[in-house]
Chains A and B, each alone.
Chain A
Amino acid sequence: MSDPEARKVVELGYGGSERLTMNMGPQHPSAHGVFRAILMLEGETVAGVDAVIGYLHRCHEKLGESLTYTQYPSIASKTDYVAAMTSELAYVRAAEIVGKFEVPKRAQYLRVLVAELQRIASHCLWLGTWCLDMGGALGGGATVFLYCIRERETVLDLFEALVGARLLYGFHQVGGTRYDIPGGWADRCRATITTIDDRINEYEDMLEGNAFFLARTQGVGVISRALAQEVGISGPLIRGSGVAYDVRRAEPYSSYEDFDFKVPVETAGDCYARYRVRMQEFRESIKVVRQVLDGLPEGPISSRPGVKSVGQVRVAKGEGYARVEGARGEVGCYLVSDGGAKPYRMKWRGASFSNLAILPHIIPGHKVADVVAIMGSVDPVFGEVDR
């Protein structure tokens, strides 16, 4: 089904008398990173949007060709730096698929554990920054932001006890994981997620049913089901529009089929629907974390010996694509190997890069204030967009 909306191109006339061209970004408190949106305004209504990206380009794909399989996982976390665990996972899984490496069961469970904890932390940041954009740095938005950051800090403290770093981990390696959980960590983890479960009730109290919040998010930025499938978005964006696509169910990896969790789907397609999807994902991730902790098997955490030298991992000739369900959507890594210690070519499919393509279709027709609400609900991270 081809959606005529997707084929429509909004002509931006840079001339004209009634229209005001306004620049939002790249330095902007709510651009979610370095992002430039050139808005064509007619009064308060946006008539067209032109997105300019590339401000954060750091040549990841070239770095992938010059760094070996032992070195690059630490760098991979810097693409989606807010949800670093899933970014590393995509690269490492690609190398394992091409090189046909086995991953022991305990390592798979640990990967699921950190991925879901990372999803919780990433959604905390999403909720905080979205409310901050909508509510103002001096106002209710900042309150929700600080509450969310307070909760995210507890998850980051868990990661710090596990890995030693709070934001960019280097937790994964080809063949398994680099670190195992220390003593006492499992209990701390359970206590932390129980607290977060309670605090999410507080956030919902503050936002759910709040007429101001609903007025800002309902009916805003509607993505129809056909448009969502046409443009190629993924993650909470597409699940908020009624398409139940989740990589963890479509192509289960790393033992996700062992766990019982729902994939939340909403049909309205507006910002409120995407908010509901992510709030439910909080709860589902907490469920999965509990299941992992209860069922963690004993065993090695890596099928390859510990990294002793830089060229230790050699991946057989071949090519392959690995995808994971990151917090923002489908993060993919396509790897072409020529048999050496470094990839011949590595390509990232950034979830936010594909998600940003939806903006010129849904923003025109809304007011300027809605642009921030929509940007927040799309939740881009520009490390993934520009790589």
Chain B
Amino acid sequence: MPALPAALYYFIVGFIVLNAVIGMVTYVTLLERKFAARMQSRIGPYRVGPHGLLQPIADAVKLMMKEDVVPTLADRPVYNLAPIVFLIPCMLIFATMPFAPGLGVADLNIGILFFLAVSAMEIVGLFMAGWGSNNKYALLSAMRAVNQIISYDLPFIFVALVPVVLAGSLRLSDIAQAQTGFFGAFIFYPVVGQLAFIAYIVTTLAAENRVPFDILEAESELVAGFRVEYSGMKFALIQLGEYAHAIGTSFLGALLFLGAWSGPGPAWLGPLWFLLKAMAVFLLITWVRWSFVRIRVDQILAISWKLMLPASLLLLMATAAWVGWRSAGGA
């Protein structure tokens, strides 16, 4: 390790990761748009740059140039702070993510706990946005959001704990390293792995407000929900936060279930494999998103409390029992 003072080292690494995340977020929007377009018999962005590759840059420039409209009766401090309070947890989840063995900002020994706790904090920013906008649609959406995200965080945590139990550690790099080889990935664990992965996808969809659980933005009813009064750069920050959260959970899914950086080839290809697997998870989520209509908020909550929570609890207990049996002398 170079002899840099720790603070400077973490600052530089954090800066690099943040920039990488922002860069990835902008291009992931393009990926989603092209993928969705192909599923709908059309081409996505095409004219801005070769095959639309400069579209995210154009969008970013447009959003920066837009007028910042603040409603007269909006609660100004709350309204202005909301995008930042929403964005910070969404970026912070990348802090404990190891991109390769030893390559990460801070590989905490409670890595996954940190991830889950911080990603739940986006609700605060969301509700501030809904409240501060002084808009009934935004308020309705924010109330639904609080309901939905809190309800789905519990199954999310239980499902994310399944690989933790299988690996025996909360540290994210330990979980990744416990999945050695192709078939060592936790998704291939009999029954438990597959069910946990499916449950993970479902709860991720809900935690990120994606169809079929996107009742809180519901363009056709609430016209962008809690974001409706934001324009320009503040809107860009909220979009950034949403997609950063989406990619963050995709990376987490790839790490927990697909073996993170393991793959054929030399060790320095690890981060590339990790990226590819995360994009595969993201594309799977996108595929589901563009295939279904949404369901009502009471049905969403019913699924969460009556189906997902008992199912994920059972799954966790089954995994724990199996791991206990195995280590006690089973195999």
Does chain A touch chain B in the assembled complex, meaning CB atoms less than 8 Å apart? Answer: yes
Looking at the complex, which one of B40, B223, B293 makes contact with A212 (CB distance below 8 Å)?
B293
Asked, given contacts A139-B289, A140-B290, whether A30 binds B220 with beta carbons under 8 Å apart, the answer is: yes
CB neighbours of A206 from chain B (8 A): 291
Chain B: interface secondary structure? loop
For A29, the closest partner residue in chain B by CB is B220
Mask of B107-144 contacts with A, CB within 8 angstroms, 1/0? 00000000000000000000000000000110010000
Establish whether residues A44 and B220, one from each chain, have CB atoms under 8 Å apart when the complex forms: no
Mask of B198-220 contacts with A, CB within 8 angstroms, 1/0? 00000000000011101101111
For B32, the closest partner residue in chain A by CB is A138
| Of listed B36, B211, B217, B221, residue having the most chain A CB within 10 A | B221
Please report the C-alpha to C-alpha distance between residue A143 and residue B293 in the assembled complex, in whole angstroms. Answer: 9
Chain A: interface secondary structure? helix
* A/B interface sample: 16 pairs, CB < 8 A: A134-B294, A136-B214, A137-B220, A139-B214, A139-B290, A140-B212, A140-B292, A141-B294, A142-B40, A143-B36, A143-B39, A143-B290, A146-B40, A215-B299, A368-B221, A371-B221
Please report the C-alpha to C-alpha distance between residue A353 and residue B328 in the assembled complex, in whole angstroms. Answer: 73
Is A216 at the interface (CB under 8 A from chain B)?
Answer: yes
Establish whether residues B219 and A137, one from each chain, have CB atoms under 8 Å apart when the complex forms: yes
Task: Tell me which residues from 344 to 373 in chain A have a Cβ below 8 Å from any Cβ of chain B.
Answer: 367-372
CB neighbours of B220 from chain A (8 A): 29-30, 132-134, 136-137, 141, 372
Asked, given contacts A139-B294, A140-B291, A141-B293, whether A29 binds B219 with beta carbons under 8 Å apart, the answer is: yes
Is B317 at the interface (CB under 8 A from chain A)?
Answer: no
| Of listed B214, B219, B292, B295, residue having the most chain A CB within 10 A | B292
Is B66 at the interface (CB under 8 A from chain A)?
Answer: no
CB neighbours of A134 from chain B (8 A): 220, 293-294
Please report the C-alpha to C-alpha distance between residue A216 and residue B296 in the assembled complex, in whole angstroms. Answer: 7
Instruction: Please give the distance in Å from A205's CB to the nearest CB on chain B.
Output: 11
Instruction: Please give the distance in Å from B29's CB to the nearest CB on chain A.
Output: 11
Task: Tell me which residues from 30 to 49 in chain B have a Cβ below 8 Å from any Cβ of chain A.
Answer: 36, 39-42
CB neighbours of B211 from chain A (8 A): 135-136, 138-141
CB neighbours of B215 from chain A (8 A): 369
Instruction: Please give the distance in Å from A375's CB to the nearest CB on chain B.
Output: 10
CB neighbours of B136 from chain A (8 A): 20, 22
Binding site for B on A (CB under 8 A): 20, 22, 24, 28-30, 44, 131-144, 146-147, 150, 206-207, 210, 212-213, 215-216, 367-372
Instruction: Please give the distance in Å from A313's CB to the nearest CB on chain B.
Output: 45
Instruction: Please give the distance in Å from A151's CB to the nearest CB on chain B.
Output: 10
CB neighbours of B41 from chain A (8 A): 146-147, 150
Instruction: Please give the distance in Å from A137's CB to the nearest CB on chain B.
Output: 4
Establish whether residues A215 and B296, one from each chain, have CB atoms under 8 Å apart when the complex forms: yes
Establish whether residues A135 and B294, one from each chain, have CB atoms under 8 Å apart when the complex forms: yes
CB neighbours of A22 from chain B (8 A): 136-137, 140
Instruction: Please give the distance in Å from B225's CB to the nearest CB on chain A.
Output: 11
The 4 closest A-B CB pairs, nearest first, are: A139-B211, A135-B293, A30-B220, A140-B292
Is B298 at the interface (CB under 8 A from chain A)?
Answer: yes
CB neighbours of B42 from chain A (8 A): 146
Instruction: Please give the distance in Å from A102's CB to the nearest CB on chain B.
Output: 46
